[in-house]
Chain A
């Protein structure tokens, strides 16, 4: 019985690590997809879309398995609710990446070349904020003392995203040659992308409470 329980613990640990890998992978696919779209490579974008959809499906499957195991084996009864909430929030971040990429594919916005670099930079900062959040989650399970360091980075990248999106929005609306439709579309897409980093910061705030509850 002893070895079976420890084996089960190792199983669920691996599943959580795999799930966080999916969130991380979704971020990278999102960034590459946006880069491909801005270069005009629609085929590459569509490939990234298929991959991110597959990643999202895997993430959902893992999330369900983890939840089932936690309840069936009555693991970590004191932290189960917090862990499940954390994983659900991370799953929403993954969904947001997929959703944002799908918007680019569906709307095919005409983004002026002047804004390409800043769009790519915004996407990079958003991905960094989520990546820091993933690291914070891993630390929560393994090395709880390190969580605060990573959460600090989430806040940093979120602020960078805010600065970039404000600058970009101003630059878009200063352009006289763009129609209002184009401006509004680019603004909406930019805000949708920026929102992901805001959500990452919200998750980090919740995580700080879970850390306090687990403090020794």
Chain B
């Protein structure tokens, strides 16, 4: 059954692969510089690499938007996104898989009456607007630089041709890697909280975590789309940039690939943060819109506003609004059917209560308000109800509301002999396991209480300042623990 639930994500991946090879290798294949088969193989390999090595960042951002916590729900969200992509394509509307999946997740949030992280949503929406603009700027700068060096070194026509060829191939490879890293979240992001596989180690050196295994599966689906269905799209529609000179086409592909990489690379983000510079949020962006942005940049540089197809720009702007709304509606309706007609649990209800420990936590975090006493020890069945009660008693900013919601989120975590006996040891260290054993017999009403207790029991459960990789790994393990230690399913 679990394999079946993954199928919608794999289908979404397949369609992504079928449609996006043209963005990274379209010009190289269309002008005969590289054969389609070579491009498809290279694209497939590097998409999978990008997804497995660098896919975690954007997936984490989608995860903060909405925590889909049931496999049927995740299946439906991915299917709703895929259906939206299909329907919008049928009516000839430019479509973004990223926007569709975000809309579908919000649809799940509304259906399950879970909270939507509006900070994440604003960050994501801002990035959608920013990415084609950044792509245009990068294209202009890269074009100027490339033209300068061609003039400076007086590159012979045929050498320039060879440079362009290799440049297009390298850009295609980089673009494929970036596409995998950036867009795998669209394909597999919703499944991460609900699927947990044991880690796999190869030759004692290379370990694939559960998330990476899911990314690998998603990457395979994208690669399959590339290999089986992208030829027609690449040869007939192409990337729409064939009318540009090879220099311009090269610059467009590079600009697009850079933008996707910037919004996916955790390494780059960590590097910028270590220098105290502003970093890029890790958000899935639309590959096609990045290509269009870059093409517009080159068009503006060469011919001014006359060369820009403003109709295309308007279509893209319209899709920013239409696509998520359509996906949210389709997701809501489909979830209703699956929940009520097929009797599948599309979500696990999450209740909220301001318990005494929660109040203490709010005081420590500086979020306590006397008005919150009115809500003390009252249980609310879901985030929407609690949020409404909160808004009625205490005016709080979005960030403050998130803090209160986090503190009040109820759980029913029990560490007993049965849990400890069935717990696989391959994903936690012996020290971490001993810390867990030391808490045997205890019950935790909030997830953060368990995290605090574990941190107190052992340094191996404590986050380390500045070590993002360790902290993310810690969060992953805690998320898994929360799922495994949930005492009994909460009633719907």
Rounded to whole Å, the gap between the CB of B42 and the closest CB of chain A is 13
B166: chain A residues within 8 A (beta carbon): 2
Q: Does B321 contact A (CB under 8 A)?
A: no
Rounded to whole Å, the gap between the CB of B470 and the closest CB of chain A is 40
A5 touches B165 (CB 8 A): yes
A77 vs B158: C-alpha distance when bound (angstroms): 11
Among the stretches B16-24, B147-155, B323-331, B413-421, the one at the interface with A is B147-155
Name A44-95 residues within 8 Å CB distance of B: 74-79, 83
Name B198-249 residues within 8 Å CB distance of A: 245-247
Q: Does A177 contact B (CB under 8 A)?
A: no
Rounded to whole Å, the gap between the CB of A183 and the closest CB of chain B is 48
B31 touches A77 (CB 8 A): yes
A76 touches B147 (CB 8 A): no
A141 vs B154: C-alpha distance when bound (angstroms): 9
A76 vs B247: C-alpha distance when bound (angstroms): 11
Q: Name B248's closest neighbour in chain A (CB-CB).
A: A216
Q: Does A111 contact B (CB under 8 A)?
A: no
Q: Name A74's closest neighbour in chain B (CB-CB).
A: B32
Q: Does B342 contact A (CB under 8 A)?
A: no
B147: chain A residues within 8 A (beta carbon): 216
Given A6-B162, A74-B31, verify A216-B157 contact (CB < 8 Å).
Answer: no
B246: chain A residues within 8 A (beta carbon): 77-78
Q: Name B245's closest neighbour in chain A (CB-CB).
A: A78
A165 vs B33: C-alpha distance when bound (angstroms): 50
Rounded to whole Å, the gap between the CB of A208 and the closest CB of chain B is 16
A13 vs B150: C-alpha distance when bound (angstroms): 17
A56 vs B212: C-alpha distance when bound (angstroms): 66
B158: chain A residues within 8 A (beta carbon): 9-10, 12-13, 75-76, 141
Q: Name A143's closest neighbour in chain B (CB-CB).
A: B154
Given A13-B156, A141-B156, verify A78-B162 contact (CB < 8 Å).
Answer: no
Q: Does A163 contact B (CB under 8 A)?
A: no
Interface string of A123-149 (1 = CB under 8 A from B): 000000000000000001111010000
A141: chain B residues within 8 A (beta carbon): 156-158
A5: chain B residues within 8 A (beta carbon): 162, 165
Q: Does B161 contact A (CB under 8 A)?
A: yes
Given A77-B31, A78-B245, A142-B156, verify A9-B161 contact (CB < 8 Å).
Answer: yes
- Counting residue pairs across A and B whose Cβ atoms lie within 8 Å, the total is 46
Query: Which of B31, B158, B165, B246 has the most chain A CB atoms inside 10 A of its CB?
Result: B158
Contact for B247 among A2, A9, A12, A216, CB less than 8 A: A216
Q: Which bucket holds chain A's interface residue count?
A: 20 to 34
Given A2-B166, A216-B147, A216-B150, verify A76-B161 contact (CB < 8 Å).
Answer: yes
A79 vs B159: C-alpha distance when bound (angstroms): 13
The tally of residues in B whose CB lies under 8 Å from a CB in A reads: 18
Q: Name B150's closest neighbour in chain A (CB-CB).
A: A216
A142 touches B154 (CB 8 A): yes
A76: chain B residues within 8 A (beta carbon): 157-158, 161
A77 vs B246: C-alpha distance when bound (angstroms): 9
Given A2-B166, A216-B247, verify A9-B151 contact (CB < 8 Å).
Answer: no
A77 vs B247: C-alpha distance when bound (angstroms): 12
A186 vs B161: C-alpha distance when bound (angstroms): 49
Q: Name B157's closest neighbour in chain A (CB-CB).
A: A141
Rounded to whole Å, the gap between the CB of A210 and the closest CB of chain B is 11
Interface string of A1-43 (1 = CB under 8 A from B): 0100110011011000000000000000000000000000000
A75: chain B residues within 8 A (beta carbon): 158, 161
B151: chain A residues within 8 A (beta carbon): 145, 216
A83: chain B residues within 8 A (beta carbon): 157
Rounded to whole Å, the gap between the CB of A144 and the closest CB of chain B is 8
A74 touches B33 (CB 8 A): yes
A78 vs B249: C-alpha distance when bound (angstroms): 12
A143 vs B162: C-alpha distance when bound (angstroms): 17
Rounded to whole Å, the gap between the CB of A10 and the closest CB of chain B is 8
Interface string of B157-188 (1 = CB under 8 A from A): 11101100110000000000000000000000
A9 touches B159 (CB 8 A): yes
B32 touches A77 (CB 8 A): yes
B31 touches A78 (CB 8 A): yes
Q: Name B159's closest neighbour in chain A (CB-CB).
A: A9
A10: chain B residues within 8 A (beta carbon): 158
Q: Name A79's closest neighbour in chain B (CB-CB).
A: B157
B156: chain A residues within 8 A (beta carbon): 9, 13, 141-142
Q: Name B143's closest neighbour in chain A (CB-CB).
A: A216
Q: Name B160's closest neighbour in chain A (CB-CB).
A: A76
Rounded to whole Å, the gap between the CB of A179 and the closest CB of chain B is 53
Rounded to whole Å, the gap between the CB of B297 and the closest CB of chain A is 15
A216 vs B151: C-alpha distance when bound (angstroms): 9
Rounded to whole Å, the gap between the CB of B36 and the closest CB of chain A is 14
Rounded to whole Å, the gap between the CB of A71 and the closest CB of chain B is 10
Rounded to whole Å, the gap between the CB of B153 and the closest CB of chain A is 11
A12 vs B166: C-alpha distance when bound (angstroms): 18
Rounded to whole Å, the gap between the CB of B432 and the closest CB of chain A is 49
Q: Name B246's closest neighbour in chain A (CB-CB).
A: A78
A-B contact pairs, 26 of them (CB 8 A): A5-B165, A6-B159, A9-B156, A9-B159, A9-B162, A13-B159, A74-B31, A74-B33, A75-B158, A75-B161, A76-B157, A77-B33, A77-B246, A78-B31, A79-B157, A83-B157, A140-B157, A141-B157, A141-B158, A142-B157, A143-B154, A145-B151, A214-B245, A216-B147, A216-B150, A216-B247
B residues sitting closer than 8 Å to A (CB atoms) are 31-33, 147, 150-151, 154, 156-159, 161-162, 165-166, 245-247
A residues sitting closer than 8 Å to B (CB atoms) are 2, 5-6, 9-10, 12-13, 74-79, 83, 140-143, 145, 214, 216
Taking A77-B33, A141-B156 as given, write out 18 further A-B residue pairs in contact, using a Cβ cutoff of 8 Å, ordered by the A residue number.
A5-B165, A9-B156, A9-B161, A13-B156, A13-B158, A74-B31, A74-B32, A74-B33, A75-B158, A76-B157, A76-B158, A77-B246, A78-B31, A83-B157, A140-B157, A141-B157, A142-B157, A216-B147
3 nearest CB pairs, A to B: A74-B32, A216-B147, A9-B158
